[in-house]
Structure 1
């Protein structure tokens, strides 16, 4: 028995803090001594857990303990601990139950997706996506989408973890002795901060992905294509939860959501540059984020670790939030326009396909619009994590523009706008849909004049070759963040 009054005696119940339990298992025999030293420095694990905003759930925390132990003994320096992210996401996904899908649920989901494809054939020239057609449990949704979360979150995690590690490490000694039970030798504080940062980011990514798995209806309705390969899927548990309480039959809700999933999949599959275009924009936005290191250092110095209220206030004040530059805001504006165009196209095509078949299609359309505009807790978590919101703010304007193009020029002309990123409508077009056709005609006229000038200078064959070299929209050229607006009219096709 130790003389330390703060140490937990054998058989004594803990204070219930999952974080303290985690630290005890991490430090093993040296746990009491390590916790005593933390408290002498004013660091209370229970208060730190409450200030962090992460769940104080023993079931969730116990899942990451083994990963934390491996983290402290490994030399990994990635910005996100993906083992922790995976385990946390799976645990959040199954909270409250995530039973295996029944044969009836599997059949109903696949049949609804099949019917949706038939109805969409009458509303768009884009063919079905192909690939797998299936129903997913929430855990299966996590497994299918987690690789894309890596693409979305690592750039901003890298920027923030580097700044946090540099700032906090300056306040620590050059080396620290490991507690008994964790081996001999010193520990580099900066390396420890990076590893702990990777742990925290892993837990946050897992929390966000797991929470989204409880809200989404398929693989695409989060706003971005979350799988690389062609596929359509429904999450029956979430579909049923959404339909519960609505004055609409579950079968009709399922069919409407299947239409949205299949329409998204057609767009992301056959507009070959679109997925890379959107993800590249997210990456460019995230990599350009900077941290206000001076404010961070000042805040860290000003924090009284013995005052939980002060610590919580600093964490929630925004001083740890990434700072965006004018360039980043411009990228964000183009990304939001592109997301609105995707959502607006799906909204319009699904409305056209559903109207002859689903009595409540108008009401369901409005419900989905409001749901996407408001966002949910998981989307808010993602906004905090990645630094941007995925809500298509101008989807109604985009839907109106797509409807106008189809009404004036036909559905084929509407879908042909997706031939290349240079053809996409701009924010100006969303402001003034009536002037879109005139602006597009003027841009095409300028392009024709350029072709004529090239023909006069280079000869017909050379000019034709130059025109034929325009990007074909295959995702290898022109899929960056600068292609959201017209840059020379329609490429030669």
Structure 2
């Protein structure tokens, strides 16, 4: 009888811990909760057509009116559980090797703590690795109800407008993956490649356990507010960071494109869109807010700048070659922008369009 090899993280344990650690969020009565859930579902369905008009990406002709993604409205523990399915084999070791039990426990605890922090922040997420993915579906669209409610209250914005605005962003991701069904596998392979380097580096399993402990140091440094600290501190060398930069370039493209789409619909679709964007950006920029911890935990100050670079890339390319010309990015991995091209849209246009 053989036992299942232990990875650096037990994702089920990490998700369960995150669900216990994350506060539940605003307390609502049954009728109020039903109204919130129904409003989010309706917003997700309504968002498909405006996004399709803006991006030029359309769902298949036989897609249901609400788009091809399955819409789930979840609480914070529900989102954390979805992350286990999204990343359950991300840190599996090659050749059936295992980390020591103590290392797995440390890794699971640290990832669970980070997921608990994120579970209070994520408004929506497309899970392209859900069972529904494939067969014409880009996966599940998760909307985290308590986070949407808390954020719209914090920003003092019109709830119907904010919920639609969030769904415009997520439905853009759904249409991206509908147009490029190869993309989720491409990203997963590239990310796994970086993580496999961790387990295959000199020192093997012991080195990986040390890197997980280094991630713990980065996490607590971020909690204490140490500048530049992130969960990845101590885990990646220079070459690995370069490969991660290429993955981040694709994420910048996806997020920047979704940001452009959610704002480009204009007041005809979201009457208070400019107010929402202004207040949302102000909240992100304020030091000492609850956003600050999560940005430090995951090194997201730099990533937010890259997402803004992604939006600039999308706008610059669209000005030069139009929406159809920009949409060449979805034709295959070779058409994706590199990290250098995200910062230099002209270089991408020259390479792809000649």
Range of TM-score over shorter length = 0.7 to 0.9
Render the CA deviation track for 1:196-230: whole Å, top value 9, x for unaligned. 2212222222222233222111124xxx8564622
Instruction: Give the alignment of 1:164-183 within 5 angstroms.
Output: none
Between the aligned partners of 1:96 and 1:248, the Cα distance in structure 2 is 18
Alpha-carbon distance, 1:76 to partner: 5.6
Render the CA deviation track for 1:453-485: whole Å, top value 9, x for unaligned. xxxxxxxxxxxxxxxxxxxxxxxxxxxxxxxxx
Of 87, 100, 118 in structure 1, the residue corresponding to residue 16 of structure 2 is 87
Alpha-carbon distance, 1:355 to partner: 4.3
Between the aligned partners of 1:152 and 1:370, the Cα distance in structure 2 is 34
Between the aligned partners of 2:34 and 2:295, the Cα distance in structure 1 is 31
Give yes or no for contact 1:98–1:139 (8 Å, CA) kept in 2: no
Aligned to 1:272, the other structure's residue is in SS state coil
Alpha-carbon distance, 1:323 to partner: 4.9
Instruction: State the partner residue of 1:407.
Output: 319
Alpha-carbon distance, 1:94 to partner: 4.9
Alpha-carbon distance, 1:267 to partner: 1.2
Instruction: Give the alignment of 1:307-456 within 5 angstroms.
Output: 322-366=234-278, 368=280, 376-378=292-294, 380-381=296-297, 391=303, 393-442=305-354
Instruction: Give the alignment of 1:41-440 within 5 angstroms.
Output: 77-79=5-7, 80-95=9-24, 102-128=33-59, 129-154=67-92, 162=99, 194-220=100-126, 225=128, 227=130, 229=133, 230-289=139-198, 322-366=234-278, 368=280, 376-378=292-294, 380-381=296-297, 391=303, 393-440=305-352
Give yes or no for contact 1:372–1:391 (8 Å, CA) kept in 2: no
Between the aligned partners of 2:276 and 2:93, the Cα distance in structure 1 is 37
Aligned to 2:142, the other structure's residue is in SS state strand
Alpha-carbon distance, 1:356 to partner: 3.0
Aligned to 1:134, the other structure's residue is in SS state strand
Cα gap change, 1:119 to 1:83, in 2 (>3 Å): closer
Between the aligned partners of 2:265 and 2:165, the Cα distance in structure 1 is 9
Alpha-carbon distance, 1:239 to partner: 0.6
Cα gap change, 1:326 to 1:356, in 2 (>3 Å): same
Higher relative contact order structure (alpha carbons within 8 Å, sequence separation ≥ 6): 2
Cα gap change, 1:441 to 1:269, in 2 (>3 Å): closer
Alpha-carbon distance, 1:341 to partner: 0.9
Cα gap change, 1:355 to 1:329, in 2 (>3 Å): same
Between the aligned partners of 2:117 and 2:144, the Cα distance in structure 1 is 14
Between the aligned partners of 1:77 and 1:436, the Cα distance in structure 2 is 43
Give yes or no for contact 1:256–1:361 (8 Å, CA) kept in 2: yes
Between the aligned partners of 2:34 and 2:149, the Cα distance in structure 1 is 15
Give yes or no for contact 2:51–2:261 (8 Å, CA) kept in 1: yes
Higher radius of gyration, 1 or 2: 1
Between the aligned partners of 1:369 and 1:225, the Cα distance in structure 2 is 27
Between the aligned partners of 1:277 and 1:370, the Cα distance in structure 2 is 34
Cα gap change, 1:403 to 1:96, in 2 (>3 Å): closer
Normalization by structure 2: what TM-score? Answer: 0.73
Between the aligned partners of 2:352 and 2:47, the Cα distance in structure 1 is 32
Normalization by structure 1: what TM-score? Answer: 0.54
Question: What is the Cα-based RMSD across aligned positions, in Å?
Answer: 3.8
Cα gap change, 1:321 to 1:253, in 2 (>3 Å): closer
Between the aligned partners of 1:394 and 1:87, the Cα distance in structure 2 is 31
Aligned pairs, how many? 311
Cα gap change, 1:122 to 1:370, in 2 (>3 Å): same
